[in-house]
Structure 1
């Protein structure tokens, strides 16, 4: 079988019934077709990379009374093609009309350093366990909340950037990105998508479960959007961002043709759609991030417009890559703001929602989601759940709103990371020493309280690699289960 798929297939979902099939092929390929049980889908070439062409096909698979298992194959120039594991057929699960779907959520799919990677036994263990679990009880949707790639090696692998890094700050800011640098960046991002997504179990899951993805900083490089203004806006930083953005748009967003985008003409990639009773909203906290904002006014307007239309029916799942509810770093931040080392720690401290520059915007997000939750609960018992990653730990938080005697709650589940290891015991002791998780009050009357909770069968913080499954049980609770490497089996039921 001569024809090989370079990356993919990547199965996606953009509405209740619209599935997408994307893949990267060699540049010599002139036609791609996806052969499904329901018929043939013709793919369009929607992007080029140094070595290949990126293709996208769409197909509608409406829910039926009973579940469906759809098998598909890919033809390149009318010949059946295989992926890097010599697989030439894949099957995905479409839940029945009244079925409560099983969802998965994961983040932090890689390593921040090569040293960490070398010290990690069985890096893709949880992807293998997810694939084994999927074979027994299939997932209907995989939500991925950021850091799908880990591109931090860009500073060493791209030779022109390595030389640029040796310049003085003044010369760095003044220097333009050369044509040679842009070419090297193109080859770098293409290569790491090909390499990092090639694991047998991960690639099987991405071909067999529809996924939706929102990026975080490591999909660009560590701390993007939280650097000083002169660096953030300099030509080289913007060049890196531009190339990383193009590859994110292809491989993760599956192009600007994505039907779930809140505003295809905007600079941000916020998206939303409904699926089997869930409203799924992803916040883009990177495309327009600076030291003084997380999301632009345009994105805020698009989010508010969407939320105003979702006041009836369904649970709301909100993807926010960085946790909205987490430990308080404000004391540490205030100390470093007065020292010469503040710049070096910008991406670690300023990247959090609770950084002082972002606290007002965080409060705005919380209040908007509380208002939406209250409006939806006038029509039934519906939940709001924030899904986050980033911190390399699993944990659980809650916002309690008791204004005017109301009882409105928003929970947050953090799952992180499916590949990236948790902090070492010593590192975690250090984090706890300079932070706190005391209850926080968002208003003067202390009627909006934000707290960290302890999952069942677990410590408060799950210091182990993990991913999460979500499913509504027969008890009408939304059960959150952290699937971990460790012996514990953390779980928590979210009541409506």
Structure 2
């Protein structure tokens, strides 16, 4: 009988003397038809070996700020195969860890198998007990993990796409605050927020150490993207916000630590073998041949500092193709242009890159962006109006009020960067109309951020369907009064009011209109998108505690819908005798 998984295994502080050889992982990251990558954090400098049957692959750890990491590249796998694997650290078997879960396995992509992809965003790291579930709800990712572990026949996604706020650097739990207090005074800036690499490393440990989630991440490939809370609320909302942050004594250390740890813990595993080989930091790791462990601390910090000051120096966005499905994941935080007269969600180089990726010739085009491209119409018009206000449409005084509103109410999504919104909307319409290659069946934005879920559709007379699917939060629900406020601002009278405000500020009309077709709902959710003959099947799942069993929530379906592909029009001469055209 499998033992009952504990709610949390991470102490408020860690001690190298008591840490196990394997700190975090194994995490199964990028997987294609013939290769995979496995990421780990170890206690010491080590040789890490992944074994499957008679095959083995190894990597030496690299160091950063006293922590040790390895990414093991696995090659020569058969398409559509499933292989259990184990992990050794310095000759000691460290995985599986005897936690009562099924063996971890690598399932390579099968070119003939329809894609199944899970996605969601916004997940806080608090204990999975009665107290944590009372304040933050059941972790839907953990409920999903327990469901898969209990049913070996349950269909597993080919990828889990986490669209931001994997960790909350600015809103910390009591467990994280205990760790911070063991190192410095909470009365010193930045207080209860994260300050450096060491604190980020501990926050990732809190996020990924729960036994159920750890098992899931060892057997389900994952891709990730940051949003603001991975660094700080409203990250790069405006030039005013950025100047305020840079005036503090702690910001530069924070952004360097945040981007550095993001590269190590999240981004490195996003890359395919070919793209990883082009990465300058990975090239340094791969080229190291000395007997001593490579210490990447200085180079990682310099890289992160430059990536912040010169966004064009590094690209966090990426693209993966899965047979007839293309996934384009877009950075909407680090690559912004913040000049008031030329605000852009994406700067010039990033926009050019996205322009190159948005092409037809696939059945479904999926665009992953942490911030929803198609907000509810009322909220869209409100944010567009606010940008015009901030840009001085009615003078300097109202512009100051607009900037206060922008930062206070998080009015800094796609609609609040109209130059970028209009250009990307035009690109997407061209793809859907077949002007950029054969039109796909659907062009679908996958997003999070808002802490509620919904589906919207662009109103079109033909061509591919343009859709927006949102899944948020994975674990961080809005208080009930904020749910009412969000629904009112997005779907109530705000739609008409927002439109009038936008018109009064002479904001250009969007190139198309859209409407909600399902939602909103406010549960903690993890969504799954599956390619089916009719189009895309999207299902939202949540965790439910029954009979007080907080350690083993049941997975429950919240909503389900098929986003059907448009039916091709038929001319009378194509009609079959006896049937209506």
Once the two structures are superposed, residues 157-201 of structure 1 have per-residue CA deviations (whole angstroms, 9 ceiling, x without a partner) of 4747853359xxxxxxxxxxxxxx99x511110100011111222
Aligned to 2:515: 451
Aligned to 2:432: 373
Check the 8 A contact 1:24/1:54 in 2, yes or no: yes
Shift of 1:9: 0.8
Aligned to 1:246: 260
Whole-angstrom distance in 1 between the partners of 2:228 and 2:328 = 19
1:56 is the counterpart of 2:112: no
**Residues 324-335 of structure 1: matches in 2 within 5 Å?**
324-327=373-376, 328-329=378-379, 330-331=381-382, 334=386
Q: Could you say what the CA RMSD is over the residues aligned between the two structures, in angstroms?
A: 3.8
Q: In the superposition, relative to structure 1, how do residues 80 and 3 fare at CA in structure 2: closer, same or farther (>3 Å)?
A: farther
Q: In the superposition, relative to structure 1, how do residues 353 and 491 fare at CA in structure 2: closer, same or farther (>3 Å)?
A: same
Q: In the superposition, relative to structure 1, how do residues 277 and 256 fare at CA in structure 2: closer, same or farther (>3 Å)?
A: closer
Partner-residue secondary structure (3-state), 1:390? coil
Whole-angstrom distance in 1 between the partners of 2:457 and 2:444 = 9
Check the 8 A contact 1:103/1:140 in 2, yes or no: yes
Q: Provide TM-score, normalisation by structure 1.
A: 0.81
Shift of 1:283: 0.2
**Residues 101-250 of structure 1: matches in 2 within 5 Å?**
101-110=115-124, 117=132, 119-120=134-135, 123-133=138-148, 135=152, 136-153=154-171, 157=180, 159=184, 162-164=187-189, 185-227=196-238, 228=240, 229-234=242-247, 236-250=250-264
Structure with the higher helix share, 1 or 2: 2
Once the two structures are superposed, residues 70-116 of structure 1 have per-residue CA deviations (whole angstroms, 9 ceiling, x without a partner) of 111111112211377757951233353412132211211116999x9
Aligned length: 463
1:476 is the counterpart of 2:534: yes
1:491 is the counterpart of 2:560: yes
Partner-residue secondary structure (3-state), 1:142? strand
Whole-angstrom distance in 2 between the partners of 1:427 and 1:334 = 21
Check the 8 A contact 1:280/1:317 in 2, yes or no: yes
Whole-angstrom distance in 1 between the partners of 2:430 and 2:252 = 37
Whole-angstrom distance in 1 between the partners of 2:523 and 2:88 = 41
Whole-angstrom distance in 1 between the partners of 2:450 and 2:525 = 12
Aligned to 1:305: 356
Whole-angstrom distance in 1 between the partners of 2:224 and 2:72 = 18
Partner-residue secondary structure (3-state), 1:489? strand
Whole-angstrom distance in 2 between the partners of 1:400 and 1:107 = 27
Aligned to 2:110: 96
Check the 8 A contact 1:320/1:386 in 2, yes or no: yes
Shift of 1:207: 0.6
Q: In the superposition, relative to structure 1, how do residues 214 and 428 fare at CA in structure 2: closer, same or farther (>3 Å)?
A: same
Check the 8 A contact 1:267/1:288 in 2, yes or no: no
Check the 8 A contact 2:327/2:366 in 1, yes or no: yes
Aligned to 2:284: none
Check the 8 A contact 1:323/1:390 in 2, yes or no: yes
Whole-angstrom distance in 1 between the partners of 2:82 and 2:215 = 15
Check the 8 A contact 2:541/2:558 in 1, yes or no: yes
**Residues 384-463 of structure 1: matches in 2 within 5 Å?**
384-402=443-461, 406-421=462-477, 423-435=478-490, 436-437=494-495, 448-454=512-518, 460-463=519-522
Shift of 1:43: 1.7
Whole-angstrom distance in 2 between the partners of 1:293 and 1:82 = 45
Aligned to 1:170: none
Check the 8 A contact 1:107/1:416 in 2, yes or no: yes
Partner-residue secondary structure (3-state), 1:96? coil
Partner-residue secondary structure (3-state), 2:414? coil
Q: Provide TM-score, normalisation by structure 2.
A: 0.70
Shift of 1:340: 5.8
Once the two structures are superposed, residues 310-330 of structure 1 have per-residue CA deviations (whole angstroms, 9 ceiling, x without a partner) of 432331111110111113335
Structure 2: runs of 5 or more not aligned: 1-17, 281-312, 391-397, 545-555, 566-581
Partner-residue secondary structure (3-state), 1:354? helix
Aligned to 2:330: 283
Whole-angstrom distance in 2 between the partners of 1:398 and 1:383 = 10
Whole-angstrom distance in 1 between the partners of 2:52 and 2:321 = 24
Please tell me whether Structure 1 or Structure 2 has the larger radius of gyration of its CA atoms: 2
Once the two structures are superposed, residues 246-296 of structure 1 have per-residue CA deviations (whole angstroms, 9 ceiling, x without a partner) of 111111112696547598474230001112322111001122335433222
